């Protein structure tokens, strides 16, 4: 959004929406793996990467008919903040720490403004769909303490 459209390199999702034939685990085993990794404090995307790389499960949804976040929600392991919002807040906190040390870094002052704009935009969306409380508000000082 605030970039020059660089960084388009990424992996592509499998086109077929059916469960692959080489997967030997049943859906209950995969759900158990998801719960185990969630208890090890891995985020949903990290769980998906671990399942892809170590257990050769390309996508969870065609196999167990649920997403990773839905499985976490059913087992009360869902984080209080959505993963993307939490990542952006942590990025803003890191940039604030950098700016506290490097006061003349004006370019990153602008970067912080753009990141905080993303936080506010995402928070409006998540409030609208009911994922975060309506009274949740991003405050720079509060975010640093967390």
Judge contact between 129 and 116, C-beta under 8 A.
Answer: no
Which two tokens mark 76?
């009360």
Judge contact between 123 and 133, C-beta under 8 A.
Answer: no
Q: Kindly tell me if the per-residue pLDDT of 145 is higher than 60.
A: no
| Banded pLDDT at 102 (limits 50, 70, 90) | very high
Alpha-carbon distance of 119 to 5, in angstroms, equals 20
Note if the pTM is more than 0.85. no
The residue among 78, 81, 62 whose CA lies nearest residue 70 is 78
The predicted pLDDT at position 123 comes to 94
């Amino acid at each position: 959004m605030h970039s020059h459209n660089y960084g388009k390199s990424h992996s592509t999702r499998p086109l077929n929406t059916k469960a692959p034939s080489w997967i030997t685990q049943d859906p209950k085993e995969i759900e158990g793996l998801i719960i185990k990794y969630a208890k090890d404090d891995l985020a949903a995307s990290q769980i998906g990467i671990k399942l892809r790389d170590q257990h050769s499960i390309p996508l969870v949804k065609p196999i167990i008919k649920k997403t990773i976040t839905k499985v976490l929600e059913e087992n009360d392991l869902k984080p209080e903040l959505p993963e993307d919002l939490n990542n952006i807040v942590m990025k803003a906190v890191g940039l604030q720490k950098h700016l506290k040390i490097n006061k003349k870094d004006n370019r990153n002052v602008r970067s912080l403004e753009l990141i905080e704009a993303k936080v506010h935009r995402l928070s409006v969306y998540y409030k609208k769909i009911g994922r975060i409380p309506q009274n949740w508000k991003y405050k720079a000082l509060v975010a640093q303490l967390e």
